[in-house]
Amino acid sequence: MSGRVLLEAAGLTCRFGGLLAVDGLDFSLASGELAGLIGPNGAGKTTCFNLFTGRVRPTAGQVSFAERPILGLRPSRINQMGLARTFQNIRLFDELSVLENVLVGFHGRLQASFLSAILRLPGYRAEEERMFARAAELLELVGLERLADERAGSLAYGQQRLLEIARALATGPRLLLLDEPAAGMNPQETAHLADLVRRLRDRMGLTILLIEHDMRFVMNLCERLTVLDQGRVIAQGAPREVQQDPAVIRAYLGPGEPVRPGQGAGDA
Amino acid sequence: MSRRWYEAGPLPAAHTTRRRDTRLTILASLAAAGGLWLLQAFAGGYVVHMTCVAALFAVLAVSYNLINGVAGQFSLEPNAFVACGAYVTALLTLSPAEKAASFILEPIIWPLSVISIPLLPALLIAGLLTALMGFLMGFPVFRVRGDYLAIVTLGFGEVIRVVANNAQAVTNGPLGLKGIPHLTDLWWTGGLLALTLFIIVRLVNSSYGRALKAVREDEVAAEAMGINAFWHKMLAFTTSAFFEGVAGGLLAHLITTISPSLFTFFLTFNLLIIIVVGGLGSNTGAFLAALLFTYGGEWLRVVEEPLNLFGLHIPGIPGMRMVFFSLILVAVMIFMRQGLLGRREFSWRWLWAVLDQRRP
């Protein structure tokens, strides 16, 4: 399944004042992987996402996407190169409708100029039609097609998370970063989400990296896990191996208490 | 039924009724043109003048709303753009003789002293120059957001006024420009209003408009979704500068005398009241509130005249209408936090649906 390296970070360091959020991180993700980034609260997972997507500038280090350095580029530019994300604390355009939220995702790749859009020239119209058709497909994919005209802010929590995924997909990514996609979801919704994520990878050929605290979700879904603690990678590998890694258990539960292997890094 | 009369429930999708809506828009435009013709033919000069002012304020409000309401960038500079447009147009259309006569502090500089061109090209040049000014101004001001943006743009507004006061060889300083030909009529103002509404409404309803709203709702998320927030703000800012410049030009040719004191922060402040009362982000709201503001301001003159109430004589108090105005504003803020329309917009689909549900 896995192919060439899609995302690579080398010596990535990010310091916020006295806090070293990410400390010399080396990380790489191959094309077609479905990987997870886990670690206790404050380990620097979301900061990693912010660094990859250009929202936060690193203190030192390099990030490249599809073999091109992306450090210092605007987040919008990085997104247009094919790297899309969702947010841990949902950031939808609340006042816009569900459909409009997805449509916004297509705008970055719009070819038609501003004048063409105002004059509704044929080129713009054709693009707009494609946009609407594709948005409807994406809403159906995540199961929100019936709510297309609702205000995005009025959706239930789990639905908002799905809408964020649909919006990110609209930007036409090769790599999708999901920041705690299952947070606040009930078991049924989580199962539906796992199904969706797997389909995105298998059928749409996306590479997916996700942060999640729901361990059952991560263990069942991801093929490879990277564990962060205090901004550093402490373990990497297949979920089963990582689960039994003493360093991981120590990071989650603290030193001292002996823990039976197998139930180690529970739902922390 | 708990629904209010103006709530029509779900509307049909826009593309299903496009043809009918276009026809209705054309019909309405023709009706409006007919209305203008009737006004021109039968109404007095005062009503015509006020209608011109109202139309220009509507242009200003709708374009100001694009940057403040649609793109959500709270800025305070329209007085600068209106001043720029007014001065440029006036300097281009004034006759050389008139310029020579009124520039008594310092003679007017060379190319301007001999130029005199018709109104239409002058307006276009003024619009483009104002847009250019907005474009250049955008680079520094959009480095900041929120309150800071408001303060920086407010500063630019003041700078333009100070420049107008001091660049005497170009603007004639505090004496201003006099004898500007009275060329603005209902057709010019009505035409500009139609053009502004056409372009801005289409912009807001296009993919670019959605991107602007996305920037307003959450700039970080908009950037993460591939929208370059900076260039989209610039787009809204420059577009609004263009129309404000042209409206300024027509304003100069309506009142025929301009001076720096005409373009103080109060102009911006009035426009801000208009778009807030109308409902930030709503073009319809900005349009209606501009009409209410200009006509209402005239009707309220009643309260400034001497009154005899039940034998009680109240002398005329100048400025009394501003008190009433404030009261109205306070009432709007208490009872309609979102302004008259919130973010609702007029659409034929809505009108159709409302009329439909009233049918027995």
Structure confidence by residue, pLDDT tens digits, B138-159:
999 999 988 999 999 999 999 9
User: Which of chain B's residues have a Cβ under 8 Å away from the Cβ of A95?
Assistant: 213, 217, 343
- Residue A254's pLDDT is 77
Amino acid at site A88:
Q
User: Which of chain B's residues have a Cβ under 8 Å away from the Cβ of A53?
Assistant: 224
- Residue A260's pLDDT is 57
Is-contact B226 A76, C-beta < 8 A?
yes
Q: Which residue of B has its CA nearest to A107?
A: B207
pLDDT, greater one: B311 or B340: B340
- CB-based contacts of B172: which residues, under 8 Å, 6+ apart? B102, B103, B105, B108
Q: How do residues B289-312 score in pLDDT, each as one tens digit? A: 999 999 988 888 887 888 777 777
Tell me the shortest Cα–Cα distance from B203 to chain A, in angstroms: 5
- Residue A267's pLDDT is 44
- Residue B272's pLDDT is 93
- Residue A262's pLDDT is 54
- Residue A257's pLDDT is 56
Mutation for A interface: B70, B135, B205, B207, most A CBs within 10 A: B207
| Cβ–Cβ below 8 Å for B343 and A95 | yes
Phi, psi at B309, each rounded to 5°: -110, 115
Round to whole Å and give the CA distance between A167 and A103.
8
Structure tokens, B225? 């979704």
Q: How do residues B187-223 score in pLDDT, each as one tens digit? A: 999 999 999 999 999 999 999 999 999 999 999 999 9
| Cβ–Cβ below 8 Å for A117 and B207 | yes
Average pLDDT over residues B311-320: 78
- Residue A167's pLDDT is 97
Q: How do residues B240-258 score in pLDDT, each as one tens digit? A: 999 999 999 999 999 999 9
Task: For residue B209, count other CB atoms closer than 10 A to its CB.
Answer: 23
The closest alpha carbon to B294, from B277, B306, B282, B317, belongs to: B277
Average pLDDT over residues B151-174: 92
Round to whole Å and give the CA distance between A232 and B201.
51
pLDDT at B105 over 90: no
Please state, rounded to an integer, the average pLDDT across all residues of chain B: 91
pLDDT, greater one: B132 or B40: B132
User: Which of chain B's residues have a Cβ under 8 Å away from the Cβ of A106?
Assistant: 207
* Chain B positions with Cβ closer than 8 Å to A: 10, 199, 202-203, 206-208, 210-211, 213-214, 217-218, 220-229, 235, 343
Round to whole Å and give the CA distance between B41 and A15.
72
Structure tokens, B151? 């303060």
- CB-based contacts of B85: which residues, under 8 Å, 6+ apart? B126, B127, B129, B130, B244, B245, B246, B247, B248, B249, B251, B252
Task: For residue B95, count other CB atoms closer than 10 A to its CB.
Answer: 12
Sequence spans of domains, chain B: 24-263
Flag the least confident range among A156-165, A201-210, B20-29, B99-108: B99-108
Where chain A has pLDDT below 50, the residues are: 1-2, 264-268
The closest alpha carbon to B89, from B109, B112, B63, belongs to: B112
Round to whole Å and give the CA distance between A223 and A234.
17
- Residue B4's pLDDT is 75
* Chain A positions with Cβ closer than 8 Å to B: 53, 55, 74-77, 79-80, 84-85, 87, 91-96, 100, 103-110, 112, 114, 117-118, 120, 124, 127-128, 131, 149, 167-168, 170-171
pLDDT at B18 over 90: no
pLDDT at B1 over 70: no
pLDDT at B83 over 50: yes
